[in-house]
Structure 1
Amino acid sequence: MSDSNEWCFACGLNNPIGLKLNFREEDDMYVANFIPGPEHQGYNGIMHGGLVSTLLDEIMAGYMYAKGLNAVTAKLEVRFRQPTPIGEKLTISGWITGQRGKMYELAGNVVLPDGTVTAEGKAIVAIKGDE
């Protein structure tokens, strides 16, 4: 990761208010864990929907970036299935569902320890440059 990416809100280690996500690849998926705190809430005890969307955006576009591609989100859709609680370990996963030229389609979800899906995402990620 370049020094400038160390300030990424989602994964940068130098960003004092960032989420500091740590990613891994498992079974053709990109995965991270996160435990939201009270500073991440919207309504009492519930993670802010914009931050849930951020988790999904990062897991999907970040997967392409991790594969060495200069990737940016072109479209993001989020379906909130139920409130995402504060203080519980979340597993965020993203995977590739299709490709058309330099456009990749991805899906992702946010899952509680009991397997409950709190949010689902779909993204179209554009690859910039000559990769």
Structure 2
Amino acid sequence: MDDKKAFQDYYPDNTAYCYGCGRLNEHGHHIRSFWDGDETVAYFTPQPYHIAVPGYVYGGLLASLIDCHGTGTASAAAYRAEGRPMGSEPPLRFLTASLHVDYLKPTPLGVQLEVRGRVKEVKGRKVVVEEWIVANGEVTVRGEVVAVRVPDEMFAKLLGEGGEAGKA
């Protein structure tokens, strides 16, 4: 999947510093989400420092994967619903309004995780995405993201500031 652009690759530079999915955050997770039919998919391999207890992933990281894959999916779903190509103007960028995560079983460290999403609803400025994380063929986490479109005024302000917005 690395031969095509991820949803997050279309984010304008001034909005690409998110710790979870920002391609311009040198310390971030760099989550990369793609369409896979009617679902979306991202892959992430937790590192030893993502530990909760020996052998298992910290739950906050798993929530971050659900969160950022969900907002990326929301953006792609909105473009698709409007019949527009990703990255076309005006930009469609989404933020989390609600994040729900259920931890079904411990998620092991040292394996590639598959993060999957399915769009449940696209209505106005809101997109609802159901998601799950698979480790070693088993679903270990389920979640839901309610994402809302960044208001045009906020986007205009972010894009008008120039420089490296959000960078410390």
Shorter chain as denominator, the TM-score bin is: 0.7 to 0.9
Residue 91 and residue 126 in structure 1: after superposition, are their counterparts in 2 closer, same or farther (change >3 A)? Answer: same
1:95 offset after TM fit, Å? 1.6
Q: 1:106 aligns with which of 129, 133, 155?
A: 129
Over aligned residues, Cα RMSD in angstroms?
A: 1.8
Distance 2:75 2:124 in 1: 16
What SS class does the counterpart of residue 99 from structure 2 fall into?
Answer: strand
- What is aligned with 2:60? 50
The yes-or-no answer on 1:90 pairing with 2:113 is yes
1:7 offset after TM fit, Å? 2.5
What SS class does the counterpart of residue 28 from structure 2 fall into?
Answer: coil
Give the greater-gyration-radius structure (CA).
2
Q: TM-score, normalised by structure 2?
A: 0.69
Gaps of 5+ in 1: none
1:36 offset after TM fit, Å? 0.5
Distance 1:54 1:79 in 2: 13
Gaps of 5+ in 2: 1-10, 80-90, 153-168
Relative to total residues, which structure has the larger strand share, 1 or 2? Answer: 1
Deviations 1:69-113 (A, max 9, x none): 221111111000011111101100112112343222210010013
Q: Indicate if the aligned counterparts of 2:73 and 2:129 stay in contact, CA closer than 8 A.
A: no
- What is aligned with 2:21? 11
What SS class does the counterpart of residue 82 from structure 1 fall into?
Answer: coil
Q: Indicate if the aligned counterparts of 2:31 and 2:69 stay in contact, CA closer than 8 A.
A: no
- What is aligned with 1:118? 140
Distance 1:45 1:18 in 2: 22
- What is aligned with 1:73? 96
Runs of 4 or more off by more than 6 Å in structure 1? none
Residue 2 and residue 70 in structure 1: after superposition, are their counterparts in 2 closer, same or farther (change >3 A)? Answer: closer
- What is aligned with 1:40? 50
